[in-house]
Chain A
Amino acid sequence: MIKDREKWLEHASQKIKVPQELIAKAFKDEIDGTPAMDAPLEIPDIMDITYKYSYGGISRFFRELRDNRRLYGSKCTHCGKVWLPPRINCNECYAPTEWVELGETAEVVTYTVVYYGTSTFYDRVPYVCAFVKVEGADTLIMQNIFLKDIKMAKVGMKVKIQFKEQRNGDMGDFWYVPADGVYDNV
């Protein structure tokens, strides 16, 4: 039994950034019960770290997405392979790449539908994760496909890029929708 319930909950809530009522529910037995001294004791805990992460050499890819609604790949100056995800050098030729703008359309090479997501994506299920081949790129990129009916997803499906209104400079700034459909921003 926890003697000063209010103080314990307040401390726990500040520590792990979870509302007190949810913590109270999870720790009901420890708070209200009388577990044996030797019974396993659980504690609220968190591993947390914030970043000011640098995209390094591929910074332009995300600035173009965020500021200009443009999707760029990178083309090897030696073999001409167009990489997406982009990279500033080619791991086959060990030569530098140069930026090239890619097309708006893509083809679904493979996909899956996630019905049970992580904490971050819990509110978004079900959603489609796919590898798509973007017009002008030689590799596939993983991206979400937004569909009115999740069962529409299929290999070979033609899709087109759609940009989010509020763009932050990350992969969440765009997704794909069926090439022949009209979809509002989600």
Chain B
Amino acid sequence: MDKVAIVGFGTTPFRARWIEKTYYELAYDAAKLALEDAGIDRKEVGGVVYGIYNELFERQFMPDVYIHNYIGMGLKPSVRVATGGATGGAAVFVGWTWIASGLYDIVMVLGVEKATDNYNYAVGHSTPETLKAILFSGDMTFENPSGLTAAASYALPLIAHIDRYGSPTEKQMAMVAVKNHKNAMNNPNAQSPKLLSVDDVLGSKMITYPFKFYDNCLYSEGASAVVLASERVARSLSDNPAWITGVGLSLDKAFAGERDDITVFTSSLHAGRDAYRMASIKSPARELDFAELHDAFTGAEILSYEAFDLCGPGQGGRLIEDGVVEMTGALPVNPSGGLIGCGHAVGATGVMQTGEAALQVQGRAGKRQVKNARTGLVQSIGGPATAWTAALIVQRIEKTGAGTKKRIASGRRRKGP
């Protein structure tokens, strides 16, 4: 397999609404920034993998075909990935395979989402309609009629976990909300940078038990793109590329009531194990320098600590209490602010977090830079009750020999593997 590097990253700010841009205009902005960051022309891209979640958000089925045209990629290969909240991470996973297989040298992964063009006229707000658009992702026969929301879908495994372990507590979850909103203050693209207290979070209105307002991520609009490259091209474009050294993808039983243990994020456990194995990571708590986790809800971040073996079962709450996952701790989680602080522009989110991980290991993360960040984990969760997880390991690898002097940047399909 070819080694795969991230050689460019571009993102729009995540916002509650981008009223002045359509989804393809946002996609264009992210693509342009990513190409500029990589130092390549659009013509050098071998193909594009799109991450777009919800057709009803975009008011368009097959939105990828219109983006592909709009950003000047006509006749190049393209495929769209749609795996719920995990869309961005899964799109990077697919882009990785296009290069690892030896088929292409340069692949762009472009995630985009609108979310608040839909509008509930009776309430005078988009949220109830946005929730309704998401609810079509629940099984239409057996789950949609119960009024399950995305938050409820996460709360169900969490409540079972709390019942078994007495953790995470509402206070521990509130501490995650405080951390991620605070981390977002260092991210100029973040939607919800805020200095909050634990009491602010605990006192905010109940959305879905046990999640209060500040325990939830927000609906965001935005687009993010990364440019992936094979080793020979990556070495010619950058002295210091970020390498994707491990990937994992898992889809658990969609009817969560069929799972063996509803308290575990089992797809994260499996995707994580695969990614760790590929990257030769044996002791993740010691070897990881930071993680960008899918904190759609505070409790999900804590259960993810456990699924990714950063601590034992039921111990996740202690990582936040002991400060381990704070920016000043041994393993900062979500330096970008994550979904809670930066935002959740669904298809773009995992791409943004992958790009953020690249900035970290390249030492380009500005005020949110984790000191000596060499190895990071990226997690994307999606689907009913966290069914999907895509996991990536992003690493800096010290250069052993001299880089290729001659610039090679043709991403066209190779003649043969």
Interface residues, chain A, with chain B CB atoms under 8 Å away: 16, 18-19, 22-23, 25-26, 40, 42, 45, 47, 55, 58, 84-85, 109-122, 124, 127, 129-131, 139-144, 155-156, 170-172
Residue of A45, A113, A118 with highest tally of chain B CB at under 10 A: A118
Task: Tell me which of B128-136, B192-200, B365-373 binds A.
Answer: B128-136
Q: B92-130 vs A: 1/0 string, CB under 8 Å?
A: 000000000000000000000000000111111001110
12 new A-B pairs (CB below 8 Å) besides A22-B121, A115-B207?
Answer: A23-B121, A40-B20, A112-B155, A113-B206, A115-B209, A118-B149, A122-B120, A140-B256, A140-B257, A142-B257, A143-B146, A156-B163
Q: Is B186 an interface residue (CB 8 A)?
A: no
B128 near A170: Cβ-Cβ < 8 Å: no
Q: Is B156 an interface residue (CB 8 A)?
A: yes
The 3 A-B pairs of least Cβ separation, nearest first, read: A140-B257, A112-B155, A110-B160
Smallest CB–CB gap between A29 and chain B, Å? Answer: 12
In whole angstroms, how far apart are the Cα atoms of A91 and B157 in the complex? 23
Smallest CB–CB gap between B367 and chain A, Å? Answer: 32
B262 near A109: Cβ-Cβ < 8 Å: yes
Q: Which B168-207 residues have C-beta < 8 A from chain A?
A: 205-207
Q: Which B132-154 residues have C-beta < 8 A from chain A?
A: 132, 134-135, 139, 141-143, 145-149, 151-152
Task: Answer whether A155 and B159 are a contact pair too, CB < 8 Å, given A26-B124, A139-B257.
Answer: yes
B149 near A117: Cβ-Cβ < 8 Å: yes
A110 near B146: Cβ-Cβ < 8 Å: no
B163 near A110: Cβ-Cβ < 8 Å: yes
Smallest CB–CB gap between A166 and chain B, Å? Answer: 15
Beta-carbon nearest neighbor of B61 in chain A: A47
B159 near A116: Cβ-Cβ < 8 Å: no
Q: Is B1 an interface residue (CB 8 A)?
A: no
Smallest CB–CB gap between B12 and chain A, Å? Answer: 16
Query: CB-CB < 8 A to B129: which residues of A?
Result: 118-119
B208 near A45: Cβ-Cβ < 8 Å: no
Query: CB-CB < 8 A to B128: which residues of A?
Result: 117-119, 122
A172 near B145: Cβ-Cβ < 8 Å: yes
B159 near A111: Cβ-Cβ < 8 Å: yes
In whole angstroms, how far apart are the Cα atoms of A123 and B131 in the complex? 14
Smallest CB–CB gap between A12 and chain B, Å? Answer: 10
Query: CB-CB < 8 A to B151: which residues of A?
Result: 112, 114, 116
Task: Answer whether A114 and B147 are a contact pair too, CB < 8 Å, given A85-B142, A131-B256.
Answer: yes
Smallest CB–CB gap between B52 and chain A, Å? Answer: 16
Query: CB-CB < 8 A to B19: which residues of A?
Result: 40, 42
Beta-carbon nearest neighbor of A18 in chain B: B121
Residue of B155, B159, B262 with highest tally of chain A CB at under 10 A: B159
B146 near A115: Cβ-Cβ < 8 Å: no
In whole angstroms, how far apart are the Cα atoms of A18 and B132 in the complex? 17
Query: CB-CB < 8 A to A18: which residues of B?
Result: 121-122
Smallest CB–CB gap between B129 and chain A, Å? Answer: 5
A129 near B147: Cβ-Cβ < 8 Å: yes
Beta-carbon nearest neighbor of A112 in chain B: B155
Q: Is B56 an interface residue (CB 8 A)?
A: yes
B255 near A139: Cβ-Cβ < 8 Å: yes
Q: Is B258 an interface residue (CB 8 A)?
A: yes
Beta-carbon nearest neighbor of B119 in chain A: A26
Query: CB-CB < 8 A to B157: which residues of A?
Result: 110
Q: Is B59 an interface residue (CB 8 A)?
A: yes
B147 near A109: Cβ-Cβ < 8 Å: no
Beta-carbon nearest neighbor of A127 in chain B: B147
Residue of B141, B143, B207, B210 with highest tally of chain A CB at under 10 A: B141
A119 near B152: Cβ-Cβ < 8 Å: no
A131 near B123: Cβ-Cβ < 8 Å: no
Query: CB-CB < 8 A to A130: which residues of B?
Result: 156
Smallest CB–CB gap between B177 and chain A, Å? Answer: 17
Interface pairs (10), CB distance under 8 Å? A26-B124, A42-B19, A85-B257, A112-B208, A114-B147, A115-B206, A120-B147, A129-B148, A144-B146, A155-B160
Query: CB-CB < 8 A to B131: which residues of A?
Result: 116-119
In whole angstroms, how far apart are the Cα atoms of A141 and B143 in the complex? 9
In whole angstroms, how far apart are the Cα atoms of A176 and B262 in the complex? 21
In whole angstroms, how far apart are the Cα atoms of A139 and B122 in the complex? 39
Residue of B121, B143, B160 with highest tally of chain A CB at under 10 A: B121
A144 near B207: Cβ-Cβ < 8 Å: no
Task: Answer whether A25 and B147 are a contact pair too, CB < 8 Å, given A85-B141, A110-B156, A116-B207.
Answer: no
